Amino acid sequence: MNVEIQLPEKVKFIIDTIMEAGCEAYAVGGCIRDFILGREAADWDITTSASPLLVKELFRHTIDTGIKHGTVTVMLGKEGFEVTTYRVDGRYEDGRHPESVTFTASLKEDLKRRDFTINAMAYNEQSGLVDEFGGLKDIENKVIRCVGDAGERFTEDALRMMRAVRFSAQLGYEIEEKTSAAIRKLSERLRLISAERIAVELTKLAVSPHPEKLRTAWETGITKIILPEFDRCMETEQNNPHHCYNVGEHILRSMQEIRPERVLRLAMLFHDIGKPETLTEGPDGTSHFHGHPAVSEEITRRVLQRLKFDNHTIQTVTRLVLYHDYDILSEAKYVRRAVRKAGEDIFPLLLEVKYADMMAQSTYLRPEKEERLLAVGEIYKQVRREGQCLSLKNLAVTGKDLIDRAGMQPGPALGETLGKLLDMVIENPDLNRKETLLAIAAAESAGGK
């Protein structure tokens, strides 16, 4: 087929070196797809008929990355390229990993083991594009389609079901009918997949240009297995003037309304996840969700721990969730209070969360809500510009000052006093002077004795 792909020099060098040794070599998979799409390829992978042993002989610096599966990383300068021997995966007994792999001399056999047609193309300058399964056509038609029988492919490796949705979200493609029917049938098998691998795919979906494709994950039964909390949201209506979608649809919309930053997209995914549990109905049939941020926070922590997210992410996302609905009046004092409560580190993110949340609600009172939020943002900037104290970091006294000059002892009381001083300074920034605060602290500790 007449597609020309500009291979990076180093990739060409690797392919040429292997071919000079009498073997075949091609750039393959994601990099070919991305080049055709005009996207920057994350990494260039090479597939070859050469044995891992030969690859190791041909290049000076190699690393045995996945030698059992035929993968050797060739280092050229600081850059590494995965070179994998053509292989056929053996039987999958566990829905995750092939029991064994066998090497093969046939490129086509190697392409057949790959997940989707758009990921199963290979290229080198001698042969041009090798597209045995219609990947190019599927790119043109914007379709995610399994190579071969979808049911078999998902039974081999259940993670592919999430990859299908993730690629559809990254590229804005539809999942072909037989492929999506197979997901519906086999989604239960995602229970075989480790939390870490699921988290990777969920995150890629969340930060993609189409996070609303999470709806496809719901329709096909994927979230029922990996995130059943979300299914409940899709079943919870909001009869409330502030809203025009059910909880799940509001969540999807809010994800679309925020920057594609990991913690922000996750915060939107979880901000209302506690709503189903807190639903009450007023006498007129209005839905209320009193206390939902705290319940959402709890569920968020539980889910993120279940998915093995790192502590820093859990910390950040749960705080954004807890404070997403915290009312901030547009006066410096209230803004400072909110910063103190939520934490200085996440406050600008919190404003983005609140904005996206608003944009995903009905237009009821939208101008007022927006005006207030923008005003809060301006006041926050002003407070920052003036260097006003918002956290212990900028308090005019430290714990050491209190020990050296206010007669206090190390211990929990010290932290408490610092907290109280900060609270006072938040209410009245003029107090943030060393002598003033030391005097207050000394009086306090004397009074406490």
The β-bridge relationship of strands 45-48 and 79-85 is parallel
Least distance to Mg ion from the beta carbon of 262, Å? 18
Q: How far apart are CA 102 and CA 90, in angstroms?
A: 7
**Residue 80 DSSP one-character state:** E
CB nearer to ligand ATP: give 28 or 321: 28
Neighbouring CB atoms inside 10 A of 306's CB total: 13
Least distance to Mg ion from the beta carbon of 247, Å? 35
**Contact of residue 114 among ligand ATP, Mg ion, none (CB under 5-8 Å per partner type):** ligand ATP
Nearest alpha carbon to residue 292 among 247, 252, 329, 257: 247
CB nearer to ligand ATP: give 200 or 440: 200
Least distance to ligand ATP from the beta carbon of 112, Å? 10
Please give the span between the terminal C-alpha atoms of the chain, in angstroms, as a whole number.
Answer: 87
CB nearer to ligand ATP: give 43 or 237: 43
Q: Which residues bind Mg ion (CB under 5 A)?
A: 30, 42
**Contact of residue 119 among Mg ion, ligand ATP, none (CB under 5-8 Å per partner type):** ligand ATP
CB nearer to ligand ATP: give 30 or 274: 30
Q: What are phi and psi of 421, to 5 degrees?
A: -60, -40
Q: Which residue type does 88 have?
A: V
CB nearer to ligand ATP: give 1 or 42: 42
Least distance to Mg ion from the beta carbon of 184, Å? 27
Residue nearest ligand ATP, CB atom distance: 30
**Contact of residue 1 among Mg ion, ligand ATP, none (CB under 5-8 Å per partner type):** none
240 contacts: CB under 8 Å, gap ≥ 6 = 286, 287, 288
Give me the residues paired with residue 62 across strands: 74
Helix (H) or strand (E) holding 286: none
**Contact of residue 115 among ligand ATP, Mg ion, none (CB under 5-8 Å per partner type):** ligand ATP
Least distance to ligand ATP from the beta carbon of 193, Å? 10
156 contacts: CB under 8 Å, gap ≥ 6 = 89, 92, 95, 98
301 contacts: CB under 8 Å, gap ≥ 6 = 314, 318
Least distance to Mg ion from the beta carbon of 119, Å? 9
**Contact of residue 160 among ligand ATP, Mg ion, none (CB under 5-8 Å per partner type):** ligand ATP
Q: How far apart are CA 191 and CA 194, in angstroms?
A: 8
Q: Which residues bind ligand ATP (CB under 6 A)?
A: 29-30, 42, 45, 114-115, 119-120, 157, 159-160
Assigned token pair, 172: 């804005």
CB nearer to ligand ATP: give 94 or 235: 94
Ordered alpha helix ranges (H), 324-365? 332-342, 347-359
Helix (H) or strand (E) holding 73: strand 71-76
Residue nearest Mg ion, CB atom distance: 30
In this structure, are residues 96 and 159 in contact, taking their beta carbons and an 8 Å threshold? yes
Least distance to ligand ATP from the beta carbon of 32, Å? 8
CB nearer to ligand ATP: give 162 or 383: 162
CB nearer to ligand ATP: give 156 or 249: 156
Q: Which residue type does 166 have?
A: R
**Contact of residue 159 among ligand ATP, Mg ion, none (CB under 5-8 Å per partner type):** ligand ATP
CB nearer to Mg ion: give 1 or 42: 42
Least distance to Mg ion from the beta carbon of 126, Å? 24
Least distance to Mg ion from the beta carbon of 80, Å? 13
**Contact of residue 157 among Mg ion, ligand ATP, none (CB under 5-8 Å per partner type):** ligand ATP
Neighbouring CB atoms inside 10 A of 80's CB total: 15
Helix (H) or strand (E) holding 60: none
